[in-house]
Structure 1
Amino acid sequence: MPDRPEAVAALLANAGFPWWIAGGYAIELAVGRELRPHSDLDILVLRRDQSRLRDLLTGCDLYVADPPGQGRLRTWRPEEVLQPPLHDIWCRRRPKAPWSVQVMLDEAEDAQWVSRRDPTIRLPIDRLGRTSETGIPYLAPEVQLFYKAKATREKDETDFEAALPVLDGPACGWLADAIRVTAPNHPWLRRLLPANRT
């Protein structure tokens, strides 16, 4: 099981469906430097492509968080198609090995990404990610920061401070609009105003 973005990119090079490095690694790919240690590697895949992903992970030990956010995992059964609200898949090389990859399934309607937190928050799929200079797809920093805004930890604040200078006006505007829907009093909103960006 790969545990670095470069290894994931090699594994998924011919996947035939869109995928993106997510989490803290996505922010590092956006800013072009390492920021902090990582305990695992996150990947975002559209729910509609889960079976194709499963085929690429044959031989790995795969579990799903069920129910989400409760700290309980169960085996992702062969041929099982995960339906909402299930969206979090944990992967490791073999039983009892450390978890190395977390796959998050997100929703889509035609050519639009749809936030599972609020379906009014959308983005064209072709704007959901970017590609590093070495060819690694990663989640656009404004989208990754939207995820991180839900319950910010110290590492999320670190990522926000690092990513803010690389966000252009439209990216800041989209992020601010998205956060206003789910957390209207979030402290990042003030920082996203053009006059307050550093």
Structure 2
Amino acid sequence: MIGRPLSSSDAHKHWAPWTPTEIAQRLAGVEAPWCIAAGWALHLFTEAAARDHSDLEIAVPHHRFNEIAAALPGFAWDVVGDGRVWPFPELLAEHFQTWLRDPLTDEYRLDVFREPAVDGRWVCRRDTSITLPYTDLIQHTVDGIPYAIPEVALLFKAKRVRPKDQVDFDNVVPQLNRSRRQRLRDWLLQVHPGHPWISRL
């Protein structure tokens, strides 16, 4: 179970992601608390973070992933992690990313983050002491598309700040109110002490 190597450049060549509107329509009947994650979550929070996106990620409690899979019949799943890819369900318990693949074109449409959850609460996989009820984790656009709050999206972007992550931070922070800034700052002090973003908050 070594897995097939998958570089970032190779992965991007095989992505033809759905839009948030398209996945919201496909998952309209799913009761599991899911939400748009990462860069698209920030884009949905504020137009100040609008940019092109090479993929689409959603988050769902790990034990309710089957509800997402059941709502997307006719596609294949791959397990992805550490720069490698395995056919589902190999190494499912060891990696949290699950990519949805169109078997006719081999193009990826969606990346599902299977997130820790306890007693109906989201649990941060970077620091399990950070938890939120799903009613606090998930916001909705005026069209009803669920997305993760910006503090959470930025916390995960802080681990490996790529140019696009810095752009997202620069564009989103001015749109955060005092309580959101404070929460993100507290989390960064806890998870990434000494991070350069802390002084900006």
TM-score range, shorter chain: 0.7 to 0.9
Give 1:176's aligned residue. Answer: 185
Q: Check conservation: 1:19, 1:45, Cα contact below 8 A.
A: yes
Are residue 93 (structure 1) and residue 102 (structure 2) matched? yes
Give 1:72's aligned residue. Answer: 84
Shift of 1:100: 2.2
Distance 1:30 1:55, change over 3 A: same
Q: Distance in 1 between matches of 2:95 and 2:84?
A: 12
Are residue 26 (structure 1) and residue 64 (structure 2) matched? no
Q: Distance in 1 between matches of 2:131 and 2:175?
A: 21
Shift of 1:112: 2.0
Give 2:118's aligned residue. Answer: 109
SS of the residue corresponding to residue 44 of structure 1 reads strand
Q: Distance in 1 between matches of 2:57 and 2:175?
A: 21
**From 144, 150, 160, the counterpart of 1:151:** 160
Shift of 1:166: 2.3
Are residue 4 (structure 1) and residue 19 (structure 2) matched? yes
2:46 counterpart letter in structure 1: V
Q: Does 96-105 or 144-153 show the bigger shift?
A: 96-105
Cα-Cα RMSD: 1.9
Distance 1:98 1:2, change over 3 A: closer
2:129 counterpart letter in structure 1: T
**From 20, 30, 41, the counterpart of 2:56:** 41
Shift of 1:24: 1.2
SS of the residue corresponding to residue 101 of structure 1 reads strand
| Percentage of pairs with the same residue | 35
Shift of 1:37: 1.4
Shift of 1:156: 0.5
Q: Distance in 2 between matches of 1:23 and 1:94?
A: 25
Name the count of aligned residue pairs. Answer: 186
Q: Distance in 1 between matches of 2:113 and 2:74?
A: 19
Unaligned runs of 5+ in 2: 1-15
Per the normalisation by structure 1, the TM-score is 0.87
Q: Distance in 2 between matches of 1:164 and 1:21?
A: 19
